[in-house]
Amino acid sequence: MPSFFFWGGRYNSYYAYGQSKLANILHAKELTRRFKEEGVEITANALHPGSIITNILRYHGYINAVANMVGKYLLKNVQQGAATQCYVALHPQVKGISGEYFMDSNKATPTHLANDSELAKKLWEFSVSLTNQK
């Protein structure tokens, strides 16, 4: 397993989840760069739907129980969570916008690592090596 899924030498599911979200943003940025380089008019964006009531914590006993008890008051429902995806995919204001990060149906500023073009290229190359594609 790649070292970026580990924190302090041990696998950490929360850290791995965060890394996967960073990878989504980096992938969208690198895909956008490649589309522009090839003259392809396709957009690629990343987004954060927000904290949604799901079963993602089902294997984290106590945390899952607390999330289920208070989640309905603090977290988005599935429809609210889908709003940003629908906005980015369908809204005319987003037409032609690519390589961006959205949250709550607005452009947002991701972490500094998410804007690292060299890291995006390295992730792309690593992904290609895993899929054995040239």
State residue 1's pLDDT score. 45
From the list 11, 14, 73, 101, the catalytic residue is: 11
Per-residue confidence band for 6, with pLDDT thresholds at 50, 70 and 90: low
Angle at 47 between CA 114 and CA 3, to 5 degrees: 45
Per-residue confidence band for 64, with pLDDT thresholds at 50, 70 and 90: confident
Sign of the CA dihedral running 90, 92, 96, 102? negative
Q: Reply yes or no on whether 17 is catalytic.
A: no
Q: pTM of the prediction?
A: 0.80
Of the options 3.40.50.1110, 3.40.50.720, 3.40.50.1100, 3.30.70.20, the CATH number for the domain spanning 3-131: 3.40.50.720
**DSSP one-letter code for 63:** H
d(CA 49, CA 100): 14
- CA-only gyration radius of the chain, Å: 17
